């Protein structure tokens, strides 16, 4: 909050007219709020995936599952590792947003967000496809023994429901979240460009 107050004071000073100053403050407040909205999903996702990995690990160690094949436990280990790696990636993204300096001059602040936006566009091209691919490979390994000896109809129903959920999560929820993130980043960049333009006019 101290950083935000410093930014507000620094960016408000060049504005001579009260109307321009009010517009600038509104834009800064909106940018601050949007930044927090970008941080929360990354942090919450990292926590959720870490808890999921811990739960699966505890289930494998203390759940008395009595699987006969080592690769079934191997599938569970892979799921844990994939969740932890993705959690680490999301936490690193959270830290990346958090380290964007709110107290630098407007032009430098805008450059930081533009650089982060370019980074996220590159990351989003590969992160979600790789994550879903690896997760489903691990799940397939785990399910081999689970499905062995089961009625074919039950297996097909489970696979159908699971595949439908994965497709929904990937093509709808995943892309919806990426689009929301992209819109928020564009909003921040547009707000900062607007602030910079107003400051130049008021000099």
Residue 37 has pLDDT above 60, yes or no: yes
106 contacts 199 by C-beta, under 8 angstroms: yes
In a domain, 113, yes or no: yes
> Is position 26 within any domain?
no
> Residue 14 falls within a domain, yes or no?
no
CA atoms within 13 A on the CB side of 37: 16
In a domain, 3, yes or no: no
Residue 4 lies in a domain: no
How many separate domains does the chain show?
1
Burial class of residue 203 (count of CB atoms within 10 Å of its CB; 0-12, 13-18, 19+): exposed
Domain assignment present for 21: no
89-141 pLDDT, tens digit per residue, is 999 999 999 999 887 887 888 999 999 999 999 999 999 999 999 999 999 99
Residue with the two structure tokens 């400051």: 199
Domain that holds residue 176: 34-201
DSSP characters for 120-158?
Answer: HHHHHHHHHHHHHHHHHHHHHHHHHHHHTTS-HHHHHHH
Q: Is the pLDDT of residue 175 over 70?
A: yes
Report yes or no on 27 lying in a domain: no
Predicted confidence (pLDDT) at residue 81 exceeds the cutoff of 60: yes
DSSP string, 167-201: HHIIIIIIHHHHHHHHHHHHHHHHHHHHHHHHHHH
pLDDT of 1 over the 50 cut: no
Tell me the whole-structure pTM to 2 decimals. 0.85
Asked whether residue 11 is domain-assigned, the answer is no
């Amino acid at each position: 909050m101290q950083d935000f107050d410093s930014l507000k004071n620094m960016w408000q000073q060049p504005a001579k007219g009260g109307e321009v100053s009010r517009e600038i403050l509104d834009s800064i407040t909106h940018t601050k709020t949007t930044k927090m909205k970008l941080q929360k999903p990354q942090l919450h996702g990292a926590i959720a995936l870490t808890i999921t990995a811990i739960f699966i690990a505890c289930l494998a160690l203390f759940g008395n599952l009595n699987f006969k094949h080592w690769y079934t436990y191997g599938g569970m280990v892979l799921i844990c590792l994939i969740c932890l790696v993705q959690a680490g990636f999301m936490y690193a993204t959270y830290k990346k947003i958090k380290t964007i300096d709110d107290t630098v001059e407007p032009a430098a602040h805008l450059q930081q967000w533009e650089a982060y936006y370019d980074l996220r566009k590159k990351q989003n091209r590969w992160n979600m496809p790789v994550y879903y691919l690896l997760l489903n490979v691990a799940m397939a390994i785990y399910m081999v023994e689970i499905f062995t000896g089961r009625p074919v109809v039950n297996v097909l129903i489970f696979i159908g429901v699971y595949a439908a959920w994965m497709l929904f999560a990937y093509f709808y929820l995943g892309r919806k979240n990426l689009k929301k993130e992209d819109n928020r980043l564009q909003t921040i960049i547009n707000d900062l460009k607007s602030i910079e333009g107003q400051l130049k006019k008021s000099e």
